[in-house]
Amino acid sequence: MKITEGKILVSKSIGSVSSILTEGSDTKFLATLAHGAGAGMKHSFMEAIANALALHSVSTLRFNFPFSEAGKNRPDPAPIAEHTIGAALSYAAEINPGVPLLASGKSFGGRMSSHYLSKNTIDGVKGIIFYGFPLHAPGQPGVNRADHLASINVPMLFLQGTKDTLARLPLIQEVCAKLPTATLATFEGADHSFKAGKRDVISELVVAAIDWLENTIKTNHSPGRR
């Protein structure tokens, strides 16, 4: 496994953010992996997912949003967050030309990735993976946050815990059922942080993601298990 730290220029006005590229010995896909609203790219969940995916030929590009880079607690406004997603995808395409790209993210990071892809068509992006899509605020069930997903024309994988208080199960099931490119995988007893007692949910998430890639993403670079 190879880990390379770097910088991504978001824009002259916003500046640059830190990044971490985690590569296995054979990259079949490269996924941008955007962090959530409560922690940066070095959070243990982000690191564990990146390391596990690398063992299955899926390299990841983690990066900070500007608010996290600056050590702030309040997430960036959507336009800044989306611009950061675009910069990360462009950077990923540059460092590994020809390798199929994926967008992915934990909670806020996945949601901002989807907003960007709903407005922009990026060559080489084959799909998007949500590690806990934040469908609504806690205690405020609704589906309005999913309205833009119908504008995304690549396959989408929703990885959701059955006890996620930011996406009540019947609601996320309803959303995915209406999206022709969506696949929903649920994890019994897991919350929004994918904690479910002493279970190793990380490995379950990665297995589900790899199965989806093998069965759904049409490319000549299908990843294989080792």
What pLDDT score was predicted for residue 226? 33
Residue range 9-59, pLDDT digits in tens:
999 999 999 999 999 888 999 999 999 999 999 999 999 999 999 999 999
Please name each of the domains of the chain with its CATH number.
2-216 (3.40.50.1820)
What pLDDT score was predicted for residue 219? 52
Strand ranges across the sheet with 156-161? 2-11, 15-23, 58-63, 29-34, 101-106, 125-131, 156-161, 182-187
Residue range 157-206, pLDDT digits in tens:
999 999 999 999 999 999 999 999 999 999 999 999 999 999 999 999 99
What pLDDT score was predicted for residue 2? 95
What pLDDT score was predicted for residue 218? 63
* 85: its two tokens: 């997603």
